Amino acid sequence: MKLSEGIEMKENKKQMWQAVKFTFFSVSAGAIQLGSFALLEIFIKDYWVPYLISLVLSILWNFTLNRRYTFKSAANVPIAMAKVFGFYLVFTPLSTYLGNMAEGYGVNDFVILIVTMLANFVLEFIFCKFVVYRGKEDTLKK
C-alpha cells in the first residue's frame, strides 16, 4: 500500500466518524426541537412561533456540541456562530415560509417539521464542514 493510500483511508475514516458524530448530535438536537415544538404547540396554534423557538434551541445545542466534539475546532466562536447565523438567515425564513404554506394546504405540522429537520441536517453538515470549520478542524486543544 502506498503512503498516499494510507493517508486517504485515514482521512476517509475521519470524515465518516465526523458524519456519525454529527448525526448523533443532530438527533439529540432534533429531540430537543421536537420536544419543545410539541410542548409549545399545546399553547400556541400558529406553526411558525413554536417552530422558530424550537429551532433556536436546537441550533444552540447542535452548534455547541459539534464545534467541540465533531469538528474539534478552536475557531473563533463569535465568527463561527456568525457564519452559522448567516446560514440560518437564509434557511429559517425559507423553511418558515414553506412550512407555513404547507400547513395552509393541510399538511400535518409534525410532517412539515420532520421534512424541514431532515433538510436542515444535510444542509447544515455541508455548510459547517466546508464553510464554518474549513481549515480549522482538529485545532482544539484538549
Query: pLDDT at position 42, please?
Result: 94
Average pLDDT over residues 71-84: 92
pLDDT value, residue 108: 94
Q: Please report where in the chains the cell 426541537 appears, as a residue.
A: 33
Query: Rounded distance, CA 92 to CA 112, Å?
Result: 13
> What is the CA 61 to chain-centroid distance, rounded?
9
Take residue 49 and report the three cell numbers written for it: 412561533
Identity of the amino acid at 117? M
Q: All 3 cell numbers of residue 141? A: 486543544
pLDDT of residue 41: 92
Share of the chain above pLDDT 70, in %: 95
The pLDDT of residue 142 is 66
Confidence of residue 3 (pLDDT cuts 50, 70, 90): low
Tell me the average pLDDT across 104-111: 93
Q: Quote the pLDDT of residue 134.
A: 92
pLDDT digits (tens, 9 = 90+) for 27-69: 999 999 999 999 999 999 888 899 899 989 999 999 999 999 9
The predicted model scores a pTM of 0.79
